[in-house]
Structure 1
Amino acid sequence: MLPTSTDVLVVGAGPTGLAAALTLARRGVAVTVVDRLDRPPATSRAAVVHAYTLEELDRIGAADPLIERGLRSPRFTVRDRDRVLLTVPFHTLPTRYDYALMVSQAVTEEVLTGQLTALGVPLLRPYRMTGLAVDAAGATVTFDGGATVRARYLVGADGMRSTVRQQAGIGFSGPNDGEESYTLADVRVSSALPRDQVALFLARSGPLVWAPLPDGVVRLVAAVDEAPAEPDVAYLQALLDERGPARRPDRLVEVLWASRFRLHHRIADTFRAGPVLLAGDAGHVHSPAGGQGMNLGIVDAVDLGTTLADVLAGGPETLLDGYAARRRPMAEAVVGFADRLTRLATLPPSRRPARNLLLRLLSAVPPARHRVAMRLSGLDQRERVAG
């Protein structure tokens, strides 16, 4: 049952909302999490947790239990069919998490939910937000059926179609207002590709991400013109044949699940409107190239939870303006990086030889490889915050 009041109400029980709530709960803040779904989804888009995200999760006691459930990937590769154009090793990263952790978003949510449950934080389902009234002392949130919750602060972690953002009147725009269509699936394949590294295949028809997960599972994500509602074996095999290895092609053995999604490249006009604060996909959406979306959302969440806890402990409200000022430029940088990776994949044939040569030159220069590793891992964000 919904409480009548709480210090912080988090709308959305994905990784971002759960991480924000856990950060607050670790600081002793009264926090309530609500979600419109009656149960967490068993399938999910994100499949990688980067080094900086693991550092932030470690701050709230969630890194180690997640690492136990994942697969460590020591490098990232960019390929054009059989040619490896760029290899990005993570062993030079200035962190003890010198790898990318391959783990399903569903497992990430399970770990964070377990931590919250142990702290006695209520996670309430299904409650669909329908209204918002804001005043100088906080926010009153209305749900289906007319129930209301009074909160000093409201966190919108409810995805790219965020009701919180819309009700707060925060704009959501970007340089690319057209929708992009993606196919995603968890499969088992017979493949010669290494099972400890993510491969981004650059193909004229669009990028294909090949990401190993624990237990021999491979996550496929591909930008397509129009994704079918339920991609089948034949469709996914055709994607692998068109974009994946050619000399020793992958052979699809089993489709565990498959789906589609659409998204825009957009960023919220602001991450704060009075007592309303945004994090994760509610504040930014972009191409999945590079696996940056969920990671940026979790980093948003820990920053927001820490900042809110400081304010509720007596710190000045202006700290929340600082959160908004920090997070929007980070979102702009990540959205731009993901967009550039996508554009690399879809260059016309006349420009692909120059692109491939450039990537090979980058791969041969250690400082250049390191800069790419810093960007992929999110550790460049840590440097910006410290600077």
Structure 2
Amino acid sequence: MTSTAALPTRTDVAIVGAGPTGLALAVTLAGAGVDFVLLDRQAEGANTSRAAVVHARTLEVLDELDPSGGLSAELIGRGLPVTRFQLRDGARPLAGITFDRLRTAHPYALMVPQYETEAVLLQRLRSLGHDVHRPHEVTAVTQDADGVTLTTATGETLRAAHAVGADGMHSAVREAAGIGFTGSAYGESFVLADVVMDWAPGRREVSLAFGAAGLTVVAPLPGGHFRIVTTVDEAPAEPDLAFVQGLLDERVPGEAVVRELVWSSRFRIHHRVADRYRAGRLLLAGDAAHVHSPAGGQGMNTGIQDGHALGRALATGDPGGYGAHRRPVALRVVALTDRMTRIATTRNRALRTVRNTLLPVLLRIPALHDRLANELAELDYR
């Protein structure tokens, strides 16, 4: 099967959306011998970096998808392992969370652009004899007692026993299923930028800087790049180098000199979880099922783990058990990232003083430190 092949008319599982979640689901089904069709509305995969961290639990999932270890090894070879997550009040270090004591074969966070994660998953899928069908935009999804019919923008139809929405926050499958998406939007906009810069703390840590003006995350990427994620009351549509430099001068004064802006974007973030993950023969995974703040780099990781869990559930004939297992995980992740965002961005002077005083003390307690490290690495969701 190739991406240019005609769209089949029938399959067991139709997967809408070929991002990391859909790819992880497809690889899981391919390994289990379940027939599926993976389709995406884009003519090709995105080449921007977007999500930039792969946590330990996700690397464990890649090991399960390829027991030879080649899948995780390939991604690790394209990334940059980092063992420290540094909390700051502006430029001032407050406390660190280290991953090198995690009980896993991967005691670190892997900094790697999302397109690399997608590339290695696609490579694995092709090695199993499958591919993505592009471009096919799903415009209608209907289900009956015997199956699901998907209709594309060109009028083609695909009949499946089950259909999975891995098609993002504005999921056509979720809408067709009539599943609510409970939550709300953050008031701030987010700036995302990949830059080449001189960064005083160096390339051995990810920094999360608190500040009344907003949250700022700086993370190293391969190739000498850094990823910047920061909240802004109202960001320009395409933040330029001067704007990004100004943000860093304000949020982490004296720490950064931006030499080159590689890519930038503005976006808004919601914190929402689908009211249920299944409606009859329709199922949800990834951003179609949950969206949240980028604090902690949880989104893509949770989605890949969704895809793997759903693939196993479909392969064993237990799609109902998938939602019971994964929706509580999403609720917990959304709660964690929301707390991190609100703690980081509080403008209450008294609360900031309490936060900056207590955090260094609390994170020196081994049990609390290790609990938070496990939570960020998603190892509690095995």
TM-score (norm 1): 0.94
Aligned to 1:238: 246
Q: Is the 8 A contact 2:213 2:345 kept in 1?
A: yes
Structure 1: distance between partners of 2:309 and 2:270? 24
Q: How does 1:1-387 map to 2 (within 5 A)?
A: 1-61=6-66, 62-174=71-183, 176-178=184-186, 180-244=188-252, 246=253, 248-311=254-317, 319-347=318-346, 348-382=348-382
Q: Is the 8 A contact 2:81 2:108 kept in 1?
A: yes
Q: Is the 8 A contact 1:57 1:63 kept in 2?
A: yes
Q: What CA deviation, in whole Å up to 9, does each residue of 1:78-131 have, x standing for no partner? A: 111232212111111111110000000010011111111122213111111111
Structure 2: distance between partners of 1:362 and 1:238? 32
Structure 1: distance between partners of 2:72 and 2:19? 16
Q: Is the 8 A contact 2:122 2:131 kept in 1?
A: no
Aligned to 2:78, the other structure's residue is in SS state: coil
Equivalent residue pairs, number? 372
Structure 1: distance between partners of 2:344 and 2:280? 41
Gaps of 5+ in 1: 312-318, 383-387
Q: Is the 8 A contact 2:91 2:255 kept in 1?
A: no
* Post-superposition offset of 1:338: 0.2
Gaps of 5+ in 2: 1-5
Aligned to 2:353, the other structure's residue is in SS state: helix
Structure 1: distance between partners of 2:187 and 2:352? 25
Q: Is the 8 A contact 1:31 1:121 kept in 2?
A: no
Aligned to 1:237, the other structure's residue is in SS state: helix
* Post-superposition offset of 1:28: 1.1
Structure 1: distance between partners of 2:327 and 2:35? 27
Structure 1 residues 179 and 32: CA distance shift in structure 2, 3 A: farther
Structure 2: distance between partners of 1:339 and 1:231? 25
* Post-superposition offset of 1:178: 4.9
The percent of aligned pairs where both chains have the same amino acid is 52
Q: Is the 8 A contact 1:71 1:196 kept in 2?
A: no
Structure 2: distance between partners of 1:275 and 1:63? 32
State the superposition RMSD in angstroms.
1.1
TM-score (norm 2): 0.95
Structure 2: distance between partners of 1:218 and 1:260? 17
Aligned to 1:68, the other structure's residue is in SS state: helix
Aligned to 1:385: none
Structure 2: distance between partners of 1:226 and 1:140? 42
Q: Is the 8 A contact 1:179 1:264 kept in 2?
A: no
Q: Which amino acid aligns with 1:327?
A: R
Q: Which amino acid aligns with 1:224?
A: V
Aligned to 1:316: none
Q: Is the 8 A contact 1:180 1:264 kept in 2?
A: no
* Post-superposition offset of 1:180: 4.3
